[in-house]
Structure formats: C-alpha cells, structure tokens
Amino acid sequence: MINWKVKEQGFCPDQMINNGNKFLIGNGYMGVRGTLEEFRKEELVAINLAGIYDRAGEGWREPLNAPNGLYTLLKVDGEVYSLPGAAPKEHCIGLDYRRALFSRKTTWKSPRGNVTIQAERFASLEEPHLLAMKYCILTDFHADVELITGIDADVWDINGPHYDAFSFHEEAGRLIAVGTTHESRDQVCVAEGCQTNFISEHKLHIDDRSIMRRMSFVTDAARSFEVTKWIAVYTSKDSDDFEQQAIRLVNDHMKSGYEASRCAHIRKWEEKWAVSEVMIEGDDEAMEALNYSLYHLHSIAPRHSDSLSIAARGLSGQTYKGAVFWDTEMFMLDFFLYTEPEVARTLLRYRIDTLEGAKNKARSYGCEGAFYAWESQEGGYDACSDYNVTDVFTGRPMRTYFKDKQIHISSAVVYGIIKYIDYTGDYSILLEGGAETIIECAKFYYSLLLKKVNKNCYELHDVIGPDEYHERVNNNGYTNRMAKYTFDQAVWVLDKLCELQEDVSERICAMYEREKLKQQFEDASQKLYIPQPDEKGIIEQFDGYKTLEDVSVETVKARLLNEKEYWGGAYGVATHTQIIKQADVAAWLALFPTDFSKDILLANWHYYEPKTEHGSSLSACMYALLACKCDMPDRAYPFFIKSASADLTGHGKQWAGLIYIGGTHPAAAGGAYMTAINGFGGLHFKDGELKVKPQLPPTWKKLRFKIRHRGVLYQIDETHDDMLIKKCEG
Amino acid sequence: MINWKVKEQGFCPDQMINNGNKFLIGNGYMGVRGTLEEFRKEELVAINLAGIYDRAGEGWREPLNAPNGLYTLLKVDGEVYSLPGAAPKEHCIGLDYRRALFSRKTTWKSPRGNVTIQAERFASLEEPHLLAMKYCILTDFHADVELITGIDADVWDINGPHYDAFSFHEEAGRLIAVGTTHESRDQVCVAEGCQTNFISEHKLHIDDRSIMRRMSFVTDAARSFEVTKWIAVYTSKDSDDFEQQAIRLVNDHMKSGYEASRCAHIRKWEEKWAVSEVMIEGDDEAMEALNYSLYHLHSIAPRHSDSLSIAARGLSGQTYKGAVFWDTEMFMLDFFLYTEPEVARTLLRYRIDTLEGAKNKARSYGCEGAFYAWESQEGGYDACSDYNVTDVFTGRPMRTYFKDKQIHISSAVVYGIIKYIDYTGDYSILLEGGAETIIECAKFYYSLLLKKVNKNCYELHDVIGPDEYHERVNNNGYTNRMAKYTFDQAVWVLDKLCELQEDVSERICAMYEREKLKQQFEDASQKLYIPQPDEKGIIEQFDGYKTLEDVSVETVKARLLNEKEYWGGAYGVATHTQIIKQADVAAWLALFPTDFSKDILLANWHYYEPKTEHGSSLSACMYALLACKCDMPDRAYPFFIKSASADLTGHGKQWAGLIYIGGTHPAAAGGAYMTAINGFGGLHFKDGELKVKPQLPPTWKKLRFKIRHRGVLYQIDETHDDMLIKKCEG
C-alpha cells in the first residue's frame, strides 16, 4: 500500500515558500497555496485565480489572487498564537493527495497550558467556486480566546497592486469583499460564512484591506471549539450576478454542512482516481511521486470552463505571469487526453479561441498566419516581455528573444489539436476552429520560409529552439521538424475538410484558396531543410552548433561569477559552448522516434545528455522518454524520478537572473506521466489501435493503469514479459 | 602663409602616448612614433613595420615593431638626463610636416650648468629602409659625458613578445641586431652606424635585449657635440641577403653624409607636395589641418611595394592588429587616386593578391565567392577575433560579430577597384586579378541572398552595417545597396572581359559560366531589396530600426555605468535605441547621391545626424560629404574640421571596453581630403570628364588643388562663384 499523504513535521521558516507549492490544493478554478490560516502576504499566501489577469502600471500583467477568506488568527489570554511568530511545541502540515485535503496541527505551550489549532481545508472539486475549512481550537485549560477570522484582502502580488479599491460589507451574517481591478475594472467577490459549535460574542471590524469578525469566548478542556468556514469566490467574468451567487453558494453549503460538502468533494476525487491512478508494483516511491504529480494535474484542470488552459506554474501563484506556454500541449496534454479527454478539449479550445491574438502577433512581426503567444494570457495576448531577464551585474533588463524567436510555439498548438483528433476520433474540433488554427499556423511558418537563392531547400533562420541558451540560431532541428509537421497536418486538414462535407467545412474552404495553399504546404514540407545525422549519427541542434566550445556542464558552471546569473543570452556562460539548457534534439527524437533508426536515437541520447544542464523542468522527461525508445528503461529511470518528484523535492530553479520563478511544475508532472505510460508502458497507437510494448524499469514488477480511448475505458496490465489490455465494465 | 610645423612646448607626461601619434614620422615601410631618443617600451616607443606580422601564443596576431636603433641616453657627471625621469628646464618637440622632420630640444639645469639635447630625425622618403638622426649635446661647462647609444631590442608589444631570440654583433663599427619571430621565424635586422664630430672612448655592451656603445668624453662650452646615426631596417621578407643589405645601406649613407640624405628626403617630399598640397585662402586653420592629414597619408603610403595596403591606425603601432579595414578603399583611396595613382594601384593589388584568403573565409562560413577579411593581414588572413571587446563588468570577452557579419567589406574592395578603373582608365588591373576579385565578391553576395518563399525580392539578413552598435540586423540599407552595386559591377566586368579580347580575358572567361553568372547577377541586382524613403523621406537603416527607442545621444550616454563600457553588443546602452555609432544611411547617400532627390538626402541628414554618436573617426567626413551634396557647406564645415584634426587634437576614442584603440586615424585624414575635394570642391567625373561644382564654406576665399587624371596633371582653382581647371605643364 502506498502512502497518499505528504507531511512535514516541525516548523522550518526556510520551507515556507516551497511548502506553499508542495501542499497546494486547487480545483482548476482556483489554487490555494499550502500556507497557514494566520499567514498573510509576507508568507506568500495566495488564492490564485485561473484565467483572469491585471496589469498595474509598467509591471507585468499577471493573474489575480483573490482576497483570502480563510484568514484566521488566534489569541489566547491576549497573546497571539501564530506562525512564524510564536515558536510551537509541535507542528505538522499534511496533504492527503488522494482526497485533496490540506491539514495542519500546531500546539503551543502557553503560560497556563497547551493551545492547539487543528485545521483542515479543501477546494471543492464538485463546486469550483467553493473553499471550505474546519478550524478547531483545543486547550487543556479555560482559555480566554479571541479569534479573528474573515477576509484578508491585503493580497500578495508580484507586480501589483491589482485592486484599485475594495468594498466590504456584512449581509445576514455573511462577510463580503469585492475588489475592483486596475486595468479592466473586473470585480472579484469573496463571500464568507462561518459556523461555530460554541457561543461567542461577535464584533465586526472593517478597515481598508479586510473585513473580520472578532469572536470572544472561554474554552474548557473537555472539547474542541470548532469554526467551520465557507468561502465562495466569483468574479464579474463568471456572471453579472456574482455577489448573490457567492452568497447563495455559501448559504447552500452551510445548510447541508461540512461533512456533506467534504464527502461530495472526496467522491469526485475518487471518480478521478478510479480512472487515473497508476499502480506500480515493486516501487512505492515511484508510484507515490507519480500519483502525487497526477494530483497536481487534477488540481489545476479547468473543468469549470470549456475554453481555458493551464499556466506554466499551475495555480501556485503569479510566477511566469500565470501564462500558458507550450508546456500544456507538449507535456500535460497526454494525461488529460488519456484520462479525461473533455479537459484536453477545453485546453485546445483555449488555443482555438485565441487564434485572433495569434494572428495579431504574426502581423505585428510582418508575418502571415498565426504566431501563438510565447506566454499566453486572455485573448492570446503575449505577456512575454522583450526584456525577460535582469542582468545581475548591471541590474539592467536584458533583451531576450523568447517572444519573437521561439516560433515552435505555434507547432505545439497544431501538435495538440492533431493528437486530440487522432486519439479521440473527434473531428468536430476541426469544424469549431481547429481547421483554421492549423491552417493559420502553417501559413505562419510558410511566411517565414527562406530560400537561399543558390540552394533548393527552405530554411528557418533566427529562431530559438527548446534550448533557450542559444538564441537566434538558424535551422534548429526541432523547430524545422515541427514546422514540417505543421505543413503536413495542414495539408491533411485541407483534404479532410472536403471529406467531412458539411456546411461548416464549406465555409472554411471558402475562406482559403484551398488548392493553392495545399500546393504551397506540400512544397514547403518537401523542401524544408531537416538536419540529418552525420557520419557518427549525430544530428546538429542548429547550424554551427558543433563548432561551439565542447566543455562539460561543470566547467561551464565553474565559470559563473554570480550564482544567479543567466546562463544564456548573448554572453552567458553556456551561450558559446555546446552546453544546452534542456532536451532539444532529444525532444524531437522523443516525439518522432520513427524519423530515424534506433541507433541514431541512441547516438544522440549519448551525445546530448551529458551536454544538457537540465535547467528546465521540461528536460528530464524528454530524455527519459527517449531512453525508453532506445530500450534503456534503466537510463530513463532517474530522469523519470526527477520529473515526478519536481514538486516533492522543490529542487527546481527558484531564480532566473533576479526574477523569482518558483511554483509548481505541472509540465514535469505531465512529463512524468508520459514517461510512465508512453515510455515504460510503451503505449502507442497504430492505425487508431491501442498497443503496448512494456519497457519496465528493473525494479518494477507490474504497471497497471487505465485509459479512456475513443469512448472505451481500458485497463492495461504490464509486467516485464507480459501484458494485458482489457475493456472495463460500464 | 600657413605654418607647416606642429610643436609642443613643455613636457606633459599625460601627452606622451598622444604625442607618439601626433608627431609620428614614416615612409610607408616603417613608422616611427614621436617619442624621445631615451624612451623605451614603457613610453610606447615603436618602429612599426608595414605588412609583417607575428602571433605569440593565444594573443592576437599583430605587426612587428623593429628593434629601436635610435635609442640614445645621456649621462652627465654620472647623472642620467632623460625624460620623463628628470624634470627639464625647457622642452620642446616639433614636427615639420612639410619636410617630415621630427625634432626635439630639451635643456636641464645640472649642478654645474645647463645641459641641452637637440635632435632631429627622419624616415627617408627616398630610401624606405633608412632612418637618420642627428643628436647634439650642448653644455655651458666642461661636462663629463657618457652617451649610451645603439639598438634597444626590448620593444613594445601589445600581444607579444614576438621575438623568440635576438642575435647581436658588431661588424666593422656597425652594430647589428637580428630578431627571429615566434610564428613564422621571420627575421628582422637593424644595422646601425654612428658618426661623431668629437673623439671619445668607446665601449661595446651587449646584453640579451640590446647592443650599445658607451662613449665617454668631456665637452666644452664652445661647441655642439654631434652624433649622427644611420639605421637600416630590413627583414627576411625583403631579401635573403638582408643583413648585408642593411650594412651596405648604412655605409653608403654614412659616406655621403647626413645633409645629402636629408636633402634627398626633403626633395622627395617636395615632389609630393607639388602635386598634393591643398591651398585654402581665408582659412589657415583648415589648410593646416588638411595638409597635416595629407602628411600622415603620405607617411604611410606603401611606395616600396606593389602589393600592400594601409592599416587602420597607419604605422602608429599595433592597435587594431595592424590590420587593413574597409578604411583604405572607402576613405583613403581618393587621395592616392587623385595624387599618386600608382599607390592606389598598390593598395588594390593587395586585395587582389589576397583573394584566396577571402575565398577561404567565404568557404569557412559555407558561402561561395570572396568574403574579405574584416581585419586583413598577410595573405588576407582575418585577424578579427570573435571576441573583440572585453566586458567591463565581468572582465569576460564579449562575442562580437564584426568578422562574420560585416559583409559590406567585400563591396568596399569592388568599389575601390572600379573607382580606380573609372578614374585612371587602366583596365589592366582587371586582367591581373581584378576581374576575378569583382566576380568572386558578387558570387559571395549571391550565395547570401535570401528569398522569402512568399515574396519576390531578395534580402540580406543577419548583418552589421557601418553602424556597429546594431548587430545582426536584416536588410541594412548600406549593405544591400553596396551588394547591388557589386552585382552591377560584376555584370559590367563580365561584359567588359569580352570586349578586351585578350588571352587573359579568355582564360578568365573560361573559369566561369559567363552567361549564367551574368544572368544571376542581373537578376540579383534587380530583385535585391533596397529600402526606400517613407512618407517623410526617411530611409530606415535596417528592418525595424524605427521601432527602437528614440532618445538623444546625451540620454544614452547618461545611462553608462562605466565610461569604458561598450555602447554596442547585445546589451549596450545604444543597442536598443536609435542611437548609431557612425554614418550608415548617410554613408550610402554620400556615396550614391544620385540614388534619390536632394530633398531625400537632406531629410536623412537631418534625421540621422542627431542620432549619431560619431563614435568612429569614419563618421564625421561622411556627414560632411553628404552636407555638401545637400548644398550645406556651412553644416559640413565642423565635421570636416573634426575629421581633418583627428590626429592633431587626439580627441579620438582611446578605449573600446578594456582594449586600447589609440593611434593615428588615416581614414579620417582621407575623409577630410574627400570632403575638401569632392565635397567643398565639388569634384566629380561625368563620362570620364572632370567636373567641379564649388561648395566652399563661407570663410574660404579660394580653394586650389591639383589632381592627376588619366595621365594629365590639372590645377583647379575655385572661388565661391568661379572656377578654373587647367592642365599643368610637363
């Protein structure tokens, strides 16, 4: 039996930020950092909202954090009992990631006896607007208690403040806080209701950043004094009637009670696990890390929407501007596709619905078609700055080229849509904008194609591949391959549209000169230069890569003058060497393993892996996957564990130059899943049929998982020398 | 009457380095810095040799400095009398730039009376291997003198030491030093002979870095004690018999005496001035500065060779690796072409003879044709490093792209050859390699042409134009225009070859597929994208230039954190602004004034001049020239004076990052000449005929100059409203 609980005993101030990520709860609508009830913005409390952004002044646009309706502070005999201020006798926080329950228990020694807080909370998976908490006070003496609980609107922001104003009021015992944002005057409403199993004197206290009740009462040693809190979060984007809805939601749940809501929440999670749990016999550590990763993916899946995607740091805060990267399509998609394809569809709809933004971006660079945002926010707005890193030596912003040169982003969108169609057989997405999306992405690449006048092939110059340490390179293998893929898929779509023979497809066809486009894309796919293996089987990452200095990661690291300095850019320690940030050629080969023979895959794994810093959490899983394709599950294993444990260990990079980049790593979580199922599990599809080719690591006795494929749920059992695919009942 | 002398009274240690440049003498074979006889390498003494280089270890390859045969140190009564050590009573150095004579006079007060050194030296214009010096000691008491004179081989090097070993010996009264270089085992030989008008005791002293005589004698107050020194410099590249030749040269000249050699030298200079002097009535300052500039050009003209070019800092030291830049063809060529076309031919032959190096460079970048060295040394070897600037913040070398991206260099070579042919009517240079050179340069550009698949024009991407502060730009107007020019000239050459109907032209034709090439170049010229003026008449310097931050030079300068930091590169203060280092669009328009209407020229002058830092000495003259083409001689004037005075004022930049870049500025000198003659003088050629259109600055009453055109010497007299072109006698 594996342990579905993550715990931390004792209080370590250094771990506060990390624990906020590690013990995160969420339900796709919001994420609640694993912080304590008495914490405030200084301790990086955040109730991070999905898909709603604000920009204040010249700062970066970033997602909103809602006012914190969970806030609760305990005073006993006039003294505050809180962390990190008052050293506890005992302290423990825990996350039951099977049931998505956060808990804490803290005991202090007071002059008159022991004071204990025990609390549990969850972000309801059944009701995305709801947070619920049970907060208990236990004392072994008659304590004079003042409990301050309500809504703390003094929220943590990286580039805030985002609320110009708040209004606070009380209505029939419910506390209500409404904040108005700076840029688009959106409103965020938090309603709070509170029940106690004791009688107390209440006083309401409102200042410019909070609305609080102050309850005074005297405890006795015999029982637990329980406060149950219900918090509803709505925004003006959810409904015009957001405030009344919030109050109604609180009232409804207060009526049915904590246990009922908790049960419904747990039931929902059990439904998820019934399909998505991955069982690994013989390796509890791997099974725990992997399912913990899946917990995070479930927690941020936007089930409340039919068109929304996932930020690179999930719902763990405002890092990376809450923006959507290629992470979603290339790393997280498989998990949702296999276990909950509706979520996959929602993620892709977000891309389809932001096509206009991508077309605007392309136009702004003088290109045609759709150039998706490198850091996508509402409407496909690219939140990526031209100055994304700060020079540690001069304090100056450094011109970076992620936004304008990382053109492989558009191909990731195409890759996601096509994978969805291939896997689900659901062509309707094509007719709902998917076709235009794919065609416009192909048009984008087409408009970038360069032909040397004296050569007969097409090239893509001045790009950044997945390895961001080498900027503005020509003919990055990964990028060119993905562009070719895009052309091929666009040709397929142009054919498919005719086949579908529907009104919509006729409309789409009418928009384009179908035959001309098809011819162009066929020509482009045929002539686009794809780097080929040299005599040793090595594929050059980009033109001239092999002429760069060949040194070890350690040597390059030793050249750092400042541990926070950026390795890339024009003069970074890695820039003029062969040291790369993350899987690049390896990513290509992991995605298209049949492009070359196994020998070639192997040669490139061995060539590039030692040259990789793995400075991105997207790196390890690609090497793990490719190692599986090379029949080396043992070599894959440590990279798999690294991916699966990214948020358990908290070892990821916290800084890029002078900028904080901490948070959860859902792409690593998704990558771990891909490695387990597609890599070790060897799951693949041939002509729409599901196949497996087990590549289990030596210690694994058995791998069991379920996947939902074209409407049917299958259970797959694999051992080293056997496998069984069977349909599940119902 | 103008003053043909430059003087400095008093001794100022801060001016030592500058004076080395300002008081330089030279004869094309060697340059002798304007340093004192007792100076050593610490004071940047150099007898800088043309066209011979060495590389020691990992340092940059740079030209050789010969052992210093002029070295002389005075001791009186056992005390050293030398600068900068002993503070003088009076001190003066002078340069008679009409006759190319350097002189110094220094008086010290000794305990027993005054001690004076008076010296004069010249680098013979008649005999390029010869230096001569007369050194006089005057005292007003009976002084016990020890004079140490001989050859100081402890030479100044920037990236040395370049001599692995020296051999010293005396032969029949001549001192001989032979140094062997590190890289190619070349030998540099200095022979010294010495005559005195007094009798003294001689002792020979040899150590590992010098061979010296120590002469002891007692002076009297009545007369001057004169030492005449003859120094011959030869290298193993001049002849196998270099040592005997050196001795013979010294002996011959000792026989005929100092006065005879001096007269021959002055006569030669008078011959040069008879043709090249530019007379400006009404503005002595301008006339002096301009003729002083011409003095420098004469001093470095490689008349001893038929295939050699001029380094960017002339013969003033090892700065910029003694390498040849586009400076020669684009800035210096006109002066030689107009006054001494044989020298122009020698300069161009150097390019023709280094075609193989240019072809190798092109190949090394995967290109065809000829990509000339950005910093050309022997054989066309590109001395330019990929790391040409040192970061002042980290001390790290910065990757620069001068070598690989400044492709306009090849067009400068073509420009020079065509200008030579146009001007002289001498087609023989075409048959001696000029034709191949032009065709190979065109092939180079052709192999770089990019065509966007969805556009019908050709583009040149990822280049650096003359403005080096903006690296890796697309469609730099200057570069594209020069490439088009190259295609046009190559087409002309391919036609011309047929016309010439000679064996040689047949051989050249046989090398190329003439018709195919012609068609390609015609197509390229026609389709190459040339940026056009916008609605305000402004031509964008490169794609996207106008989107850069529009700030003043002062604002950008105020952002410097360190006065030595580099303005360009990836993160320099100018990089992401519209501030440019030097004339770029202005250079294009100054070279091709008929490309657009005068209104357009004017609009661009006014648009770009305030955005120009003039951080290169090549900048001012282009703005001056263009101002003349816009009928604004008054606006041109200050830029002309700046160019002409570059080496008089010594105000040029001394540092690029942490690298010393001081020295003389022959391109500024040549640019001043171009401004005077082509700009103010309005000299131009139409259908091979010489025309003038005076544009004199307000203060100028009359401009008179001579030019040699197609074998005939003309004198041109211009006033504000009149002009006269007449053939000179003989």
Those residues whose C-beta lies under 8 Å from the C-beta of residue B219, and which sit 6 or more positions away, are: B137, B138, B139, B141, B142, B143, B145, B225
For the cut 70, the answer to whether the pLDDT of residue A583 exceeds it is yes
SS3 label, residue A708: strand
Per-chain mean pLDDT for chain B? 95
Give the Cα separation of A156 and A164 in Å (integer).
Answer: 14
Average pLDDT over residues B679-708: 94
Query: At A661, is the pLDDT very low, low, confident or very high (cuts 50, 70, 90)?
Result: confident
For the cut 80, the answer to whether the pLDDT of residue A352 exceeds it is yes
Q: What is the CATH number of the domain that holds B164?
A: 2.70.98.40
For the cut 70, the answer to whether the pLDDT of residue A656 exceeds it is no
**Residues B506, B638: one domain?**
yes
| Residues in chain B within 8 Å Cβ distance of A570 | 398-399, 569-571
Give the residue from B365, B391, B453 with the most A CB atoms within 10 Å of its CB, the best one to mutate. B453
Among residues A253, A274, A295, which one ends one of the domains?
A: A274
Average pLDDT over residues B70-88: 96
| Digit-coded pLDDT (tens) for B468-487 | 999 999 999 999 999 999 99
CB A121 within 8 A of CB A48: no
| Digit-coded pLDDT (tens) for A383-428 | 999 998 889 999 999 999 999 999 999 999 999 999 999 999 999 9
pLDDT at A730: 58
For the cut 70, the answer to whether the pLDDT of residue B510 exceeds it is yes
Chain centre to alpha carbon of residue A603: 32
User: Measured between CB atoms, does B453 come within 8 Å of chain A?
Assistant: yes
Q: What is the DSSP letter of A7?
A: E
The answer to whether A452 contacts B453, with C-beta atoms less than 8 Å apart, is no
Query: At A380, is the pLDDT very low, low, confident or very high (cuts 50, 70, 90)?
Result: very high
Give the Cα separation of B661 and A104 in Å (integer).
Answer: 67
For the cut 90, the answer to whether the pLDDT of residue B516 exceeds it is yes
**Residues A247, A307: one domain?**
no
Which residues on adjacent β-strands are paired with residue B80?
B75
End-to-end CA distance of chain B: 27
pLDDT at B650: 79
User: Which is the catalytic residue, given B37, B340, B436, B468?
Assistant: B468
User: Measured between CB atoms, does A461 come within 8 Å of chain B?
Assistant: yes
Flag the least confident range among B397-411, B491-505, B670-684, B690-704.
Answer: B491-505
Interface size A-B, in CB pairs within 8 Å, comes to: 76
Average pLDDT over residues B526-543: 98
Q: Which residue has the higher pLDDT, B589 or A431?
A: B589
SS3 label, residue A650: coil
| Digit-coded pLDDT (tens) for B351-381 | 999 999 999 999 999 999 999 999 999 999 9
| Residues in chain A within 8 Å Cβ distance of B398 | 570-571
**Residues A267, A298: one domain?**
no
- Kindly list the catalytic residues of A: 468
Among residues B259, B274, B289, which one ends one of the domains?
A: B274
SS3 label, residue A69: coil
The answer to whether A368 contacts B398, with C-beta atoms less than 8 Å apart, is no
The answer to whether A454 contacts B449, with C-beta atoms less than 8 Å apart, is yes
The answer to whether A461 contacts B458, with C-beta atoms less than 8 Å apart, is no
User: Measured between CB atoms, does B608 come within 8 Å of chain A?
Assistant: no
CB A258 within 8 A of CB A250: no
The nearest CA of chain A is from the CA of B456 a distance in Å of 11
| Digit-coded pLDDT (tens) for A483-528 | 999 999 999 999 998 887 677 777 777 888 889 999 999 999 999 9
Helices (H), B652-700: 666-674
Provide the residue range defining the domain that includes B107.
5-274
* Closest-CA residue of chain A to B391: A571
CB B341 within 8 A of CB B298: no
Q: Which residues 660-699 of chain A have a CB within 8 Å of chain B?
A: none
Nearest to A635 by CA among A704, A579, A698: A698
Cα angle B680, B685, B686; round to 5: 130
The nearest CA of chain A is from the CA of B434 a distance in Å of 24
Of A391, A393, A446, the CB nearest to B453: A446
* Annotated catalytic residue B522: no
Give the residue from A365, A368, A401, A453 with the most B CB atoms within 10 Å of its CB, the best one to mutate. A453
Burial label, B237 (beta-carbon count in 10 A; 0-12, 13-18, 19+): middle
| Digit-coded pLDDT (tens) for A549-572 | 999 999 999 999 998 899 999 999
What's the ipTM? 0.88
The answer to whether B447 contacts A452, with C-beta atoms less than 8 Å apart, is yes
Q: What is the CATH number of the domain that holds A648?
A: 1.50.10.10
Cα angle B680, B683, B685; round to 5: 155
Q: Which residues 618-637 of chain A have a CB within 8 Å of chain B?
A: none
High-pLDDT (> 70) share of chain A, % = 98
Q: Which residues 513-552 of chain A have a CB within 8 Å of chain B?
A: 520, 524
pLDDT at A655: 66
Those residues whose C-beta lies under 8 Å from the C-beta of residue A724, and which sit 6 or more positions away, are: A716, A717, A718
**Residues B222, B312: one domain?**
no
Crossing angle of the two packed helices A258-276 and A242-256, in degrees rounded to 10: 100
| Residues in chain A within 8 Å Cβ distance of B450 | 450-453, 461
Query: At A1, is the pLDDT very low, low, confident or very high (cuts 50, 70, 90)?
Result: confident
Phi (first) and psi of residue A700, to 5 degrees: -80, 125
Give the residue from A389, A396, A567, A571 with the most B CB atoms within 10 Å of its CB, the best one to mutate. A571
For the cut 90, the answer to whether the pLDDT of residue B528 exceeds it is yes
Give the Cα separation of A553 and B400 in Å (integer).
Answer: 24
Nearest to A568 by CA among A469, A643, A711: A469
Average pLDDT over residues B587-612: 98
| Residues in chain B within 8 Å Cβ distance of A547 | none
* Closest-CA residue of chain A to B528: A453
Would you tell me how many other CB atoms lie within 10 Å of the CB of residue B475? 24
The answer to whether B571 contacts A570, with C-beta atoms less than 8 Å apart, is yes
The nearest CA of chain A is from the CA of B393 a distance in Å of 7
The nearest CA of chain B is from the CA of A449 a distance in Å of 6
**Residues A540, A635: one domain?**
yes
The nearest CA of chain B is from the CA of A426 a distance in Å of 33
Task: Tell me how many domains chain B contains.
Answer: 2
For the cut 70, the answer to whether the pLDDT of residue A106 exceeds it is yes
Q: Where are the beta strands (DSSP E) in B454-504?
A: 458-459
Which whole-number Å values give the CA distances from B558 to A402, B96, B562, B654, in the listed order? 29, 41, 10, 19
The answer to whether B451 contacts A446, with C-beta atoms less than 8 Å apart, is no
Average pLDDT over residues B209-230: 95
Give the Cα separation of B531 and B555 in Å (integer).
Answer: 28
Phi-psi region of B447 (alpha: psi -120 to 50; beta: other; left: phi over 0): alpha
**Residues A428, A397: one domain?**
yes
| Residues in chain A within 8 Å Cβ distance of B394 | 393, 561, 571
The answer to whether B454 contacts A447, with C-beta atoms less than 8 Å apart, is yes
Cis amide leading into A466 (omega within 30): no
The nearest CA of chain B is from the CA of A688 a distance in Å of 36
Phi (first) and psi of residue A332, to 5 degrees: -95, -20
**What is the maximal distance between C-alpha atoms in chain A?**
91
pLDDT at B655: 67
User: Measured between CB atoms, does A398 come within 8 Å of chain B?
Assistant: yes
Per-chain mean pLDDT for chain A? 95
pLDDT at A348: 98
Would you tell me how many other CB atoms lie within 10 Å of the CB of residue A13? 9
Q: Which residue has the higher pLDDT, A457 or B512?
A: A457
Report which secondary-structure segment, H or E, holds A709.
strand A702-709
Those residues whose C-beta lies under 8 Å from the C-beta of residue B544, and which sit 6 or more positions away, are: B473, B474
Give the Cα separation of A238 and A228 in Å (integer).
Answer: 26
User: pTM of whole model > 0.90?
Assistant: yes
The two tokens of residue A166 are: 């708040």
Query: At B590, is the pLDDT very low, low, confident or very high (cuts 50, 70, 90)?
Result: very high
**Residues B309, B320: one domain?**
yes
**Residues A530, A634: one domain?**
yes
Query: At A2, is the pLDDT very low, low, confident or very high (cuts 50, 70, 90)?
Result: confident
Which residues on adjacent β-strands are paired with residue A92?
A9, A105
**Residues A39, A183: one domain?**
yes
The two tokens of residue A256 are: 């049915």
Among residues B274, B303, B325, which one ends one of the domains?
A: B274
Would you tell me how many other CB atoms lie within 10 Å of the CB of residue A226? 17
**Residues A454, A501: one domain?**
yes
Residues A102-110: contacts with CB under 8 Å, at least 24 apart: A102/A23, A102/A25, A102/A32, A102/A34, A104/A36, A104/A37, A106/A11, A106/A36, A108/A81, A110/A76, A110/A77, A110/A79, A110/A81, A110/A139, A110/A141, A110/A143
For the cut 80, the answer to whether the pLDDT of residue B276 exceeds it is yes
User: Measured between CB atoms, does B454 come within 8 Å of chain A?
Assistant: yes
The answer to whether A446 contacts B458, with C-beta atoms less than 8 Å apart, is no
Q: Is the dihedral of CA A245, A249, A250, A251 positive or negative?
A: positive
Nearest to B266 by CA among B120, B100, B128: B100
Nearest to A34 by CA among A83, A74, A80: A83
Crossing angle of the two packed helices B242-256 and B258-276, in degrees rounded to 10: 100
Rg (CA), chain B: 26
Query: At A616, is the pLDDT very low, low, confident or very high (cuts 50, 70, 90)?
Result: confident
Of A450, A520, A561, the CB nearest to B450: A450
pLDDT at B589: 98
The nearest CA of chain B is from the CA of A452 a distance in Å of 5
User: Measured between CB atoms, does A612 come within 8 Å of chain B?
Assistant: no
Give the Cα separation of B272 and B274 in Å (integer).
Answer: 5
* Closest-CA residue of chain B to A443: B454
Give the residue from A452, A545, A565 with the most B CB atoms within 10 Å of its CB, the best one to mutate. A452
**Residues B187, B250: one domain?**
yes
For the cut 70, the answer to whether the pLDDT of residue B338 exceeds it is yes
| Residues in chain B within 8 Å Cβ distance of A458 | 453
Nearest to B301 by CA among B328, B273, B330: B328
**Residues B573, B589: one domain?**
yes
Would you tell me how many other CB atoms lie within 10 Å of the CB of residue A627? 27
